[in-house]
């Protein structure tokens, strides 16, 4: 990580200097415009254009931080830590790219799926909530202010509850799923904001870089430790960390297909990024309580999630619900990479975050296409569709192989690095040999539930009453973009690995600091 900072003040003259703000502002402004337009087609078009612009901005931000360090964008003429800042480095630029890319790719799919699953009178409000959800996810990743994280977390959460509830048009259980998500999400947000209050009481600041400096100066007192516990529990609920995951299966199962695609690939990833930021940048692992929490709490819970959720997924009879439990298991892999507490482990976690986002979005898109043609995601209704929907099911195969971690797919590299990270720590603690074995065995469980889907699609006779045909082109294009990405990043690993490794090193360095004398103000 470079030691120099690019600081763009609110008075900057060029549009390029305002990219950190525009990253969040563009989808935020799109939301009320969509409501005002009131047209379904124009609403979708504006949502798509806004998401595409957000993607372009995230790519430009990534290019900028890889060349020149990090970007600190101040608001209202107040320099941090007094004012609010957006802070972009390799870590959150990486996550911003994932969120904006998925948001853009999913929308063509959503154009068809939403039309089928949601009443037309609700379409404008649906896309407005979609934009607000995207705004919240991008904002909580981009901001350098801890309280702003809470604000954006609530923006994304409140809009998500509405999006999940839209599934009631097809299944009334979506309402109870949204309600359960609301209750659990509110509890998580409450824990998080209590933790922030404790940090403010101990340090007198909410700027994340300043928090890190002040905590490091005063040490780990009881208030700081308690704040850590509350923050971990609060974010753990949002991440769906075992055993705080109970909201996820129903939310993913009964939400509209497009919503499930978007949330599965982005929501837990944004929350996981915030958790990593607090663990590595604010509460540095040098504090014994942080290291102990990772090794004593995160590590066993991650392994339990990998096995228990995979085991439950293997016995599901609904494709969508199976993928929901699989997501819990995959979150376990990411948390395991964090808990190993090495450069390789953290790189594996960041890579798996990206790879899982691609694979799971692809698989849920496949489910959505099957639901469009059959009206159901139950195995009995989709049996034999590999012959009638070859392009859709072919994409599902690619996503399933990546989810398992088959060589040549994106999922292989992250799981291989995870095993390597565990083996690196065997010399310190022989129990990590068991951890590496656990990774391999849990991946074999993934083979079981993924193979069951392949068997249903290709080896069973089609339902005699089925009139299913291939999915529309608007669905197939984004599916195969993601399928191609899974194969491309599985065969060409250098680019993504370099970014993830650079991000991991940035996190392990702890606080980037902000009040150092070598940081300069003004646009470079």
Q: How far apart are CA 294 and CA 305, in angstroms?
A: 15
Q: How far apart are CA 382 and CA 374, in angstroms?
A: 7
* pLDDT given at position 506: 80
pLDDT along the chain (524 residues), means of 10: 41 67 89 84 89 91 80 76 81 90 92 86 88 92 88 91 86 87 90 90 84 77 84 89 86 89 90 89 72 80 90 89 91 89 88 90 91 84 85 91 88 89 84 87 88 88 76 90 90 85 80 36 31
C-alpha separations of 393 from 320, 362, 390, 458 in Å? 14, 11, 5, 9
The model carries a pTM of 0.88
* pLDDT given at position 7: 42
* Among candidate residues 373, 342, 359, the one with its CA nearest the CA of residue 406: 359
* pLDDT given at position 35: 87
Q: How far apart are CA 301 and CA 245, in angstroms?
A: 12
Q: Order of strands, edge to edge, in the sheet holding 5-8?
A: 5-8, 70-74, 85-88
* pLDDT given at position 483: 92
* Among candidate residues 514, 508, 481, the one with its CA nearest the CA of residue 212: 514
Q: How far apart are CA 463 and CA 232, in angstroms?
A: 47
Beta-bridge partners for 73: 8, 86
* pLDDT given at position 68: 65
Among positive and negative, which fits the CA dihedral 260, 261, 262, 265?
Answer: positive
Straight-line distance from the first to the last Cα atom of the chain, in angstroms, rounded to the nearest whole number: 17
* Among candidate residues 356, 355, 344, the one with its CA nearest the CA of residue 504: 344
Q: How far apart are CA 277 and CA 93, in angstroms?
A: 13
For residue 5, the surrounding DSSP H or E stretch is: strand 5-8
Cβ(328)–Cβ(253) below 8 Å: no
The pair phi, psi for residue 346, each rounded to 5°, is -70, -35
Cβ(442)–Cβ(396) below 8 Å: no
Beta pairing class for 70-74 and 85-88:
antiparallel
* Among candidate residues 172, 435, 193, the one with its CA nearest the CA of residue 295: 435
């Amino acid at each position: 990580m470079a030691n120099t900072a690019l600081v763009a003040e609110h008075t900057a003259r060029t549009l390029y200097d305002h990219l950190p703000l525009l990253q969040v502002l563009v989808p935020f402004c799109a939301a009320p415009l969509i409501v005002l337009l009131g047209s379904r087609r124009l609403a979708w078009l504006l949502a798509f254009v806004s998401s595409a612009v957000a993607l372009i901005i995230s790519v430009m931000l990534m290019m900028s931080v890889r060349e020149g360090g990090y970007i600190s964008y101040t608001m209202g003429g107040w320099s941090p830590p007094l004012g609010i800042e957006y802070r972009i480095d390799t870590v959150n630029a990486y996550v911003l790219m994932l969120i904006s890319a998925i948001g853009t790719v999913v929308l063509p799919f959503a154009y068809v799926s939403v039309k089928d699953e949601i009443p037309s009178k609700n379409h404008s409000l649906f896309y407005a909530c979609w934009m607000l959800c995207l705004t919240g996810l991008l904002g909580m990743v981009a901001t350098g202010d801890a309280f702003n994280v809470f604000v954006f977390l609530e923006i994304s959460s409140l809009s998500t509850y509405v999006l999940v509830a839209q599934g009631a048009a097809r299944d009334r259980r979506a309402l109870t799923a949204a309600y359960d998500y609301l209750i659990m999400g509110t509890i998580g947000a409450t824990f998080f904001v209590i933790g922030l209050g404790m940090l403010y009481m101990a340090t007198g600041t909410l700027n994340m870089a300043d928090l890190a400096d002040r905590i490091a100066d005063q040490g780990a007192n009881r208030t700081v430790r308690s704040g850590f516990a509350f923050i971990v529990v609060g974010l753990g609920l949002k991440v769906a960390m075992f055993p705080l995951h109970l909201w996820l299966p129903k939310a993913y199962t009964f939400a509209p297909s497009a919503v499930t695609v978007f949330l599965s690939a982005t929501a837990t990833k944004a929350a996981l990024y915030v958790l990593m930021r607090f663990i590595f940048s604010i509460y540095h692992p040098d504090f014994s309580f942080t290291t102990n929490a990772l090794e004593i709490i995160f590590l066993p819970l991650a392994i339990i999630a990998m096995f228990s959720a995979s085991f439950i997924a293997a016995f599901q009879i609904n494709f969508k619900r199976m993928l929901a439990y699989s997501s819990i298991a995959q979150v376990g892999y990411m948390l395991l990479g964090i808990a190993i507490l090495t450069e390789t482990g953290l790189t594996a976690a960041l890579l798996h975050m990206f790879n899982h986002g691609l694979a799971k979005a692809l698989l849920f898109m496949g489910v959505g296409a099957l639901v469009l043609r059959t009206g159901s995601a139950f195995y009995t209704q989709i049996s034999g569709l590999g012959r009638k929907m070859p392009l859709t099911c072919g994409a599902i195969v690619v996503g399933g192989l990546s989810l398992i971690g088959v060589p040549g797919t994106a999922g292989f590299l992250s799981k291989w690095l995870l095993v390597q990270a565990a083996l690196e720590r065997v010399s310190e603690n022989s129990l990590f040999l068991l951890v590496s074995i656990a990774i391999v065995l849990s991946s074999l469980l993934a083979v079981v539930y993924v193979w069951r889907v392949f068997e249903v699609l290709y080896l069973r006779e089609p339902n005699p009453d089925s009139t299913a045909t291939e999915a529309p082109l608007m669905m197939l294009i984004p599916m195969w973009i993601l399928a191609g990405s899974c194969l491309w990043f599985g065969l060409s690993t250098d680019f993504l690995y370099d970014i993830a490794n650079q991000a991991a090193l940035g996190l392990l360095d702890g606080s980037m600091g902000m009040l150092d004398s070598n940081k300069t103000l003004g646009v470079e």
